[in-house]
Structure 1
Amino acid sequence: MKLLGLFRHAKSDWADPRARDFDRPLNKRGRTGAAIMGRHIRDHGVAWDHVISSPAVRCTETVEIAAEAAGRPLAVNWDRRIYLASSATLADLLREQDEGFSATLMVGHNPGLEDLIFDLVPDDGSSPLRDVVEVKFPTAAYAVLELDIDRWADLADNCARLVHLTRPRDLDPTLGPQLT
């Protein structure tokens, strides 16, 4: 069995309409959400032996803030292929992972991460957490999937169980949707 963690970048700043999408930083709410989720990921207890992330600014800031809040520095493999990748590209990247890693945390973007959950977790009614993801996999959401594989190279559709899902608003209601 392998473990896959999916951590979507925190809320980004849209204040500068001239900024390239890749260069958008986190906004204040995003920095707060990244810190809260970093502590949650630490407390959840999975020892991630490998972290791969998009190098987009909003992802690098999410990882840095989450790691600092958790009090655990992370050695991250920054992989440009994760930036705005499709589920198929993310799955291909996971199939390339070193077999020595049993627990990989991927930090990236939607819709790729959300679609990866839909591809890996069967839509057979057995996962109420999958139903939550169908509504939305919001910024800074964290999911853990147990993969029924022994080798990353064997990653295939419907090989996973979604065993954990936490959104920032689950830990701090002020980080939920802004109703105006």
Structure 2
Amino acid sequence: MLTLNLIRHAKTNQVSPTGEDYDRALLDKGVSQANVLGNYIQTHHISLGKVICSSAVRTQQTRSIICQHLSEQCDFAFSRKLYLCSHSEILSVIEQVGKDEKTVTIVGHNEGISDLASHLSGEFVHLRTSEMISFTFPFDSWEYLIGGTGVITFQYRPAVFLPLPIS
């Protein structure tokens, strides 16, 4: 049996200092979201297995904050191929990087990550910032993943409300 966790990066700035989308960083709300998600993963004893993360700034920050909450070492790899890619490209990365793993976690971007969740579940899924969804599959190899074969085991998004600034 295989387990796949999909995490969309936390809430980000709309622009970066460089003007490049790739360099967008987390907002304070995003940092809070990632902290709450990391705590949720730890307290619910969720194994992330091999974490494969887009190399964009916002996904790296999300992964780093989440992994700070885990008692086990966070085994991870970065992949530029996960930056704003299609669901089929994510599947290809999973097959290559996670081939010897039974549990893989992807930290990525929309629309690809939501498209993958929809494809695997056979139903419409739209992941919002810092949302996580987990699937199990009755296979022993990632190359067998096809549409509609994933069973959703849980879906979670941290509710974070920051105080309004005082003027």
Quick check: 46-55 or 76-85, which moved more?
46-55
Aligned to 1:53: 53
Aligned to 1:143: 133
1:148 offset after TM fit, Å? 2.3
The answer (yes or no) to whether the contact 1:96–1:153 under 8 Å persists in 2 is no
Which residue type is aligned with residue 150 of structure 1? D
* 1:143 aligned counterpart, secondary structure: strand
Name stretches of at least 5 consecutive residues in structure 1 with no aligned partner: 124-129, 176-180
1:110 offset after TM fit, Å? 0.6
The answer (yes or no) to whether the contact 2:31–2:62 under 8 Å persists in 1 is yes
Aligned to 1:7: 7
Aligned to 1:78: 78
Q: Could you tell me how far apart the structure 1 residues matched to 2:85 and 2:74 are?
A: 22
Which residue type is aligned with residue 85 of structure 2? A
Aligned to 1:165: 155
Aligned to 2:94: 94
The answer (yes or no) to whether the contact 1:96–1:152 under 8 Å persists in 2 is no
RMSD: 1.8
1:97 offset after TM fit, Å? 4.0
Q: Could you tell me how far apart the structure 1 residues matched to 2:99 and 2:16 are?
A: 42
Which residue type is aligned with residue 50 of structure 2? H
Q: Could you tell me how far apart the structure 2 residues matched to 1:155 and 1:39 are?
A: 29
Name stretches of at least 5 consecutive residues in structure 2 with no aligned partner: 163-167
Deviation readout 1:12-42 (Å, 9 max, x if unpaired): 1125475210001101000000110011112
* 1:70 aligned counterpart, secondary structure: coil
The answer (yes or no) to whether the contact 1:95–1:155 under 8 Å persists in 2 is no
The answer (yes or no) to whether the contact 2:55–2:80 under 8 Å persists in 1 is yes
Question: TM-score of the superposition, structure 2-length normalised?
Answer: 0.88
1:67 offset after TM fit, Å? 1.3
The answer (yes or no) to whether the contact 1:144–1:163 under 8 Å persists in 2 is yes
* 2:69 aligned counterpart, secondary structure: helix
